[in-house]
Chains A and B, each alone.
Chain A
Amino acid sequence: MLKILWTRLQQKHRTTAYPKGPAPELPPRFLGRPKIDMSRCTPDSCRSCAGACPHGALDIGERVRIDLGKCLFCGACEAACPAGVIEFTREYRMAVGRRGELEVQDAAYRLAEALDAKSRKLFGHSLKLRQVSAGGCGACEADVNVLNTVGWDLGRFGIQFVASPRHADGLLVTGPVTENMRLGLLKTWEAVPSPKLVIAAGACAISGGPYLGHPEVHDGCTRLLPVDLFIPGCPPHPLTVLDGLLRLLGRLEKDGR
């Protein structure tokens, strides 16, 4: 027992002060939300970035646009642009409430709004989620799981991942929804009592990610389930996931974060 207490002192208190305090520092090379500066762009003559994105996230029609629902944050488009039009910033806040809002262009980006008052009353202080892994590479699951460690302590917000869909207020879906998991996902969804939420975490769940267009997958869960929160990333950083969850519950509004 003494040894355990002594080790506890050595290991120290490690839970992040966020959101009351500052967010944990992200590495210098972290690629977060991209920024587009059209004033530097010469779309008619340059087109260096054309074809830079093999996943269809980059659209260079009249203006340069990046679909964060498809973006794997590989930085290839930034590297292809000689004029610095595209720049991946270290901004981790990216979760939105509607699919169309995942589009980054030369304008303000609209982060997710909180649920309406009635839903907030229901879920705001206690949100139980059933996670369904529906294809993908396991990285999204790994970084969602991180929120349960002492470093993040998701439980302090009343958010918890539960074993049974019957105990859940909603689903957090990862993966492109393989044909082989379609039934499992839908059955789990049906087993969650209403009213219920759906959160799509990661490029796979939003659009199919790297597997977009494969006949073996359904290009994410958006056509199968009504999604309330889209969290982009490949995988999303734990901070991006947490920001999205808290934003949805209206827990970040008052202090203007």
Chain B
Amino acid sequence: MSDMLAVRNAQAVPLAHMPVLEPEAFRRAVLDAVASGARIASFFGRPLPSGRLGVLCALAHDHAGTLSLLGMEAGEEYPSLSPDCPQAQLFERELAEQWGLRPKGHPWLKPVRFAPPRRPGGEPMGSGPCGVMPFYRVGGEEIHEVAVGPVHAGVIEPGHFRFQCRGETVKHLEISLGYQHRGVERALTGGPDARTSHYMETLAGDTTVGHAWAYCQALEALGRVEAPARAAVLRAAALELERLANHLGDLGALAGDVGFLPTQSYCGRLRGDALNMTALLCGNRFGRRLLKPGGTGCDVDERTLDELRLRLDALARDSASALRLLWDAPSVTARFEGAGALTLGDARALGLVGPSVRACGALQDVRRNQPFGVYRYAMIPVSTWDTGDVFARAHVRWMEFQRSVVFLRELFETLPAGPVLRAPGSPAPESVVVSLVEGWRGEVCHAAVTDAAGRFAAYKVVDPSFHNWPGLALALRGQGISDFPLCNKSFNLSYCGVDL
């Protein structure tokens, strides 16, 4: 710990203050921190003038409420952390794919996004089209392989899933993504500019508010300004509305996946009602245009507030009635219980975040552990369950829905007067900031490193799905393959948020 730089959530610090270690010492320091309970929040590289790669690791210390930053400089390879620290594996693969930095001893070195190398003259990691790679295979005459995607049966994003099955039982699932790779993170380098906020709002469409907030917070830290109190409350309202909409939609979809149509039907409509409340704030159902660096792009009047209160009451009432049916139906709970169970140990080892890790019993929530915005002084209780299965993930989401409704009522009652925007100064040069927000799926992490002119030398986005996809793969072990949709929906992870 002593050889790391301790910072708070969204605190900009000069880059020179961050210790930079040799690869072996870096590896040791990160492994020790993770062994003592820290999590890897972000882990990324940027090319240095020397031609070497500057690697930065941000660790989250949930109990201390702090983050710590640590750097490493490497040439072509370094000793891999993954054999001792599974949560590093995807980050290390990403570094290898983007910058050609080889983690020596990595047990699973495969492409993450089938993306072209970012280093000029670099070799692409995948050979051939997206998804073509050596998948893990289980041997034996009784084993068969099921391949699904990238084009799925529903109206959803593309991804490829390989199941190794014995009969109906899944022995292993490997997930290959990258189909949505549109170069958005690469395009953020050199910003901020006029396109930046649109990129942020479309990192993951269903987490527009979560990502926009993480970006705004980073830019406010670099520009030494704090969003006005009124804007802070409006942001929290939008974030909780986003949570309501997505949790409701997924609870309905879970009902649909076990053939329980009444709750599915009602939730489909109710999700829309929550989205329309966000649209009442800013005109857009996903919260586009609402958040701006320095505050919010729009304000609300008393009449709109009254309307929001009325709609929230109706939403809470109708959702309770729709969900009561679900929880009271033994045919539903029997399917939910025991399906896709993860242990807390596995969830922690993989570095899971959000409702997925809270469903394993972890008291882990950025709103509580690394509070930001209004969550610094207004508490929202953390909801947990401890069975780690589909039931737990569904139940945690329902509890969170209820807590968010109560919290929203409070926000609508206590909206402070004053302005909603205070423009930030130009970003501080040669600085680093890590900004965390608890989106509906879990921790949204944005990290920015600025150059001498205050432009983004690197901008790293970690969507909660990046941490959680391996959790879904593990949850499928030993499950019936027909339970895949159910397990999948209980996580409902983002493809575009990972593919970037």
> Which residues does A use to contact B, with CB under 8 Å?
3-4, 7-8, 10-11, 14, 27-31, 51, 54-55, 72-76, 130-146, 148-151, 161, 163-165, 175-176, 178-181, 183-184, 188, 209-211, 214-217, 234-235, 237
Contact = CB atoms under 8 A, between A and B. Distances in A.
Contact of A132 (B151, B186, B269): B151
Given A30-B279, A138-B496, 9 more contacts: A7-B322, A137-B201, A139-B202, A149-B268, A150-B266, A161-B154, A184-B150, A214-B187, A216-B182
A76 B195 CA distance: 11
Contact of A181 (B150, B201, B324): B150
Contact of A139 (B130, B195, B206, B276): B206
Interface of B: 113-116, 129-130, 150-151, 153-158, 178-184, 186-187, 193-195, 198-199, 201-206, 208, 262, 265-266, 268-269, 271-272, 276, 279-286, 288-289, 298, 318, 321-322, 324-325, 328, 494-496, 499
Contact of A141 (B130, B156, B324, B325): B156
B180 A178 contact: yes
A72 B198 contact: yes
Contact of B181 (A7, A188, A216): A216
B198 to A, nearest CB: 4
A241 B180 CA distance: 22
Contact of A180 (B130, B186, B204, B298): B130
A75 B321 CA distance: 39
A219 to B, nearest CB: 11
A154 B412 CA distance: 35
A29 B155 contact: no
Given A137-B204, A211-B184, A149 B269 contact: yes
Contacts of B182: 135-136, 175-176, 178, 211, 214, 216-217
B198 A210 contact: yes
A235 B318 contact: no
Binding site secondary structure of chain B: loop
Contact of A75 (B180, B269, B289): B289
A133 B156 contact: yes
Nearest to A139: B205
Contact of B283 (A30, A72, A148): A30
Nearest to A151: B269
Nearest to B278: A27
18 contacts: A7-B324, A11-B266, A27-B279, A27-B283, A29-B279, A74-B198, A133-B156, A133-B180, A134-B179, A137-B496, A138-B204, A148-B268, A161-B154, A176-B182, A178-B182, A210-B198, A215-B116, A215-B183
Most buried by A among B155, B322, B325: B155
Can you list the 8 inter-chain pairs with the closest CB atoms, starting with the nearest?
A139-B205, A29-B283, A149-B268, A54-B194, A137-B205, A163-B153, A216-B183, A180-B130
Contacts of A141: 155-157
A163 B198 CA distance: 32
A193 to B, nearest CB: 16
Given A3-B325, A183-B129, A217-B182, A139 B208 contact: yes
Most buried by A among B154, B280, B298: B154
B198 A180 contact: no
B116 A216 contact: yes
Contacts of A30: 279, 283-284
B427 to A, nearest CB: 18
Nearest to B252: A149
Given A3-B328, A7-B325, A54-B195, A136 B180 contact: yes
Nearest to A145: B155
Nearest to B178: A180
A27 B194 CA distance: 26
Given A4-B262, A27-B276, A141-B156, A150 B269 contact: yes
B216 to A, nearest CB: 16
Contacts of A150: 265-266, 268-269
A178 B179 contact: yes
A95 B186 CA distance: 32
A138 B154 contact: no
A136 B204 CA distance: 8
Nearest to B304: A28
B334 to A, nearest CB: 17
B496 A31 contact: no
Contacts of B156: 133, 141
Given A181-B150, A216-B182, A7 B157 contact: no
Contacts of B114: 180
A11 B157 contact: no
A138 B328 contact: no
